[in-house]
Structure 1
Amino acid sequence: MVRMSAEERRESVIRAAMIEFARGGYNGTSTEAIAKRVGVSQPYLFRLFAGKEAIFLAASRRCLQEVKEVFTKASEGLEGQEALHAMSAAYQGLIADDPDMLLMQMQTYVAIASAEASGDREFGEALRAGWMEMYDTAHLALGADVDETTQFLAYGMLVNVLVSMGFKADHRVWTGFYDSAQPKSDK
């Protein structure tokens, strides 16, 4: 049996935490469930991370980083509408292939809002920084056009909400997306 390094175990914990937090949220997920999914003891888990909050922050950062990487790869060598359509398709593929990625994003937003409501602004600062990296990646791919970036991310958030709510692809609520997928000159 090959032993994993601490860094490989840490990576395993982040992956497991993304799944567990995606499904149970911050408050509904125990570190015991994460440790069990990874196959380590809770004390070992806490040798890798300072606590539950540190695990959640690592999982949330990773989620945002992976979305940013999807945007980067999809838009490579493209500009404007071509970049927009490529990033949209790549994101749709990401959340279709990995529904937990979408749920982890949504849990991240809820956890930040909950922390801020109780006066903890520090919790969200690191995650806002990660979100801004994702924003900047999309923004630059869209020619640094604020309106295009805002519209792209607004549609993306609406996609997140509709998918999270379970609307099937053939539901009428998606009709506006099909119309908006056409380049502006074709409307």
Structure 2
Amino acid sequence: MARMSADERRESVIRAAVHEFARGGFHGTSTEAIAKRVGVSQPYLFRLFPNKPAIFLAAAERCLHETREVLAAAAEGLEGQEATHAMANAYARLITEDPDKLQMQLQMYVTIAAAEAAGDHELGELVRKGWMELWDTVHIPLGGDVNETTTFMAYGMLINNLAAMGFPPGHRVWEGLFPAARVQGRAGRPGE
């Protein structure tokens, strides 16, 4: 069996980090757990990344990047309400089919809030940059309308929270949200 290159190992570490940080958060996840999941030693892990915050940032960037790709692909060639519904449906599928994406997003917000409160603004700046790229990905298909973009993103954050709390499909809390959002209750339910 061929040995993995450093780039392939780095990619494996990022995938493992998304999974581990999504479940344990920044402070609850050890670099040992990430290294073990990948099948490398901790010293090797730190040859690929200088420190734990760098691993977390790579995982956060990956999560935001993949979300942007899904939304951009869904909205390609569409505008207005067609784009809104296509992106909402695509996002619903993304966090339903890959709950690590939802959990990683939530962990990013908690980690940044804690870092900011402690006076560390570097991680927050980097993640905010990625989030603004996500905003722009949504903003353009919605015709550059700030109100439409704000509404879309606000619905997305509400969906994240409701899904994370495990509201089941069909629960009255989903009424009034985009049709796709009603499936979101599955994403945050334990054991699914």
For 1:146, the equivalent position in structure 2 comes to: 146
Q: Is residue 111 from structure 1 mapped to residue 111 from structure 2 by the alignment?
A: yes
Tell me which residue corresponds to 1:53: 53
Identity of aligned residues (%): 68
Contact 2:17/2:59, CA 8 A, preserved across alignment: yes
Q: Deviations over 1:29-84 (max 9, x none)?
A: 00000000001000000000001000000000110011111111000000010000
Distance 1:27 1:112, change over 3 A: same
The 1:62–1:156 alpha-carbon spacing in structure 2 relative to 1, beyond 3 Å, is: same
- Output the amino acid matched with 2:82: E
Measured after TM superposition, the shift of residue 154 of structure 1 is 0.2
Question: 2:131 aligned with 1:131, yes or no?
Answer: yes
Matches for 1:93-104 after TM superposition, within 5 Å: 93-104=93-104
Using a 3 Å threshold, how does the CA distance of structure 1 residues 3 and 76 change in structure 2: closer, same or farther?
A: same
Listed one character per residue, the Cα deviations across residues 144-180 of structure 1 (whole Å, up to 9, x for unaligned) are 0001000000000000000000001111100121579
Structure 1 runs of 4+ aligned residues shifted over 3 Å read 178-181
Displacement, 1:122? 1.4
Cα distance in 1 for residues equivalent to 2:175 and 2:135: 26
Aligned partner of residue 144 in structure 2, secondary structure: coil
User: Could you state the TM-score of these two structures normalised by the residue count of structure 1?
Assistant: 0.94
1:177 aligns with 2:181: no
Query: Structure 1 pair 21/180, CA: closer, same or farther in 2 (3 Å)?
Result: closer
How far apart are the structure 2 equivalents of 1:111 and 1:135?
20
2:71–2:138 Cα contact (<8 Å) kept: yes
Query: How many equivalent pairs are there?
Result: 181
* TM-score normalised by L of structure 2: 0.92
